[in-house]
Amino acid sequence: MKIYLNVWRQKNAHTKGKFETYDLDNISEDMSFLEMLDVLNEGLINDGEEPVVFDHDCREGICGTCSMVINGKPHGPQKLTTTCQLHMRSFKDGDHITIEPFRAGAFPVIKDLMVDRSAFDRIQQAGGYISVNTSGRPVDANAIPVEKEKADASFNAATCIGCGACVAACKNASAMLFTSAKVSQYALLPQGRVEASSRVLNMVKQMDLEGFGNCTNTGACEIECPKGISLENIARMNREYLSASIKG
């Protein structure tokens, strides 16, 4: 198949970028989207041109680094799919495909399609963990009973891979879905209740400091999330935050 690419090229966050067009022939429909970009870059290198920079790692839909906007949609047209799991059979021969980086002030462009998502790391570091006193003999976590409904909800929240699609999809560039998933993951478990108040207060504070926008409940984040993280987590985080604020 032949495709026409419109790719965003930008040296860094401080320079203006622009779209560059590229034509590719003999692209197999069985290729992944990233393999197609590998073919593009191989051709650019052979022609003495600079390859397109894009982020990737596991290529198994686990790490979340393959973040890019494809034809206006984070991770592309296929639901519950990361960019690395998107295949060229999702497109047609002769299609024009526009590829650009996630657009958010808190995600500055490093180069081309790669953005700096370390703001998510700082939100996580602000409280997305359980502190454990290792002195003595701690109780085995498996010995603590957890209601199945809460365990399932916690597990579903924990499937968030922190890719940032929720931010890219939101008109306000809000990080509420990501932050709420990390808050919910622990708030639903007895092991996480001890630090529940400080966790939500610290993580929300860091989220605001990073410059993410507010949530206006349009639901675009859940629709574009490759792991289907539910908006229920945002509601849960709001309740946790209100309760912690009252206690404080």
CA 133 to centroid of chain Cα atoms? 31
In three-state form (DSSP H/G/I as H, E/B as E, the rest C), the secondary structure along 47-72 is CCCCCCCCCCCCCCCCCCCCCCEECC
pLDDT value of residue 140: 74
Domain end among 92, 111, 130:
111
Asked if residue 207 and residue 152 are part of one domain, the reply reads: yes
User: For residue 19, what are the β-bridge partners?
Assistant: 8
Asked if residue 98 and residue 143 are part of one domain, the reply reads: no
Alpha-helical (H) ranges within 82-211 are 118-125, 148-158, 165-169, 176-187, 190-193, 196-209
Asked if residue 75 and residue 93 are part of one domain, the reply reads: yes
Chain segment 205-228, per-residue pLDDT in tens: 999 999 999 999 999 999 999 999
User: For residue 109, what are the β-bridge partners?
Assistant: 115
218/208 Cα distance (integer angstroms): 19
Asked if residue 228 and residue 169 are part of one domain, the reply reads: yes
User: Domain range for residue 238?
Assistant: 117-247
Chain segment 120-156, per-residue pLDDT in tens: 999 999 999 988 765 667 677 678 889 999 999 999 9
State both tokens at 4: 């026409």
Asked if residue 211 and residue 122 are part of one domain, the reply reads: yes
Asked if residue 151 and residue 81 are part of one domain, the reply reads: no
pLDDT value of residue 134: 56
In sequence order, what DSSP letters do the residues of 86-115 get, joined into one string? -BGGGS-TT-EEEEE----TTS-EEETTEE
Q: Is 134 exposed, middle or buried (0-12, 13-18, 19+ CB in 10 A)?
A: exposed
State both tokens at 81: 């799919």
Asked if residue 206 and residue 124 are part of one domain, the reply reads: yes
pLDDT value of residue 133: 67
pLDDT value of residue 135: 61
CATH of the domain at 16: 3.10.20.30
Asked if residue 242 and residue 132 are part of one domain, the reply reads: yes
CATH of the domain at 216: 1.10.1060.10
Domain end among 111, 129, 145:
111
38/2 Cα distance (integer angstroms): 15
Asked if residue 166 and residue 90 are part of one domain, the reply reads: no
157/241 Cα distance (integer angstroms): 17
Domain end among 89, 111, 133:
111
206/6 Cα distance (integer angstroms): 35
Asked if residue 127 and residue 99 are part of one domain, the reply reads: no
Asked if residue 49 and residue 24 are part of one domain, the reply reads: yes
**Below-70 pLDDT ranges, the chain:** 133-136, 138, 141, 248
Domain count, the chain: 2
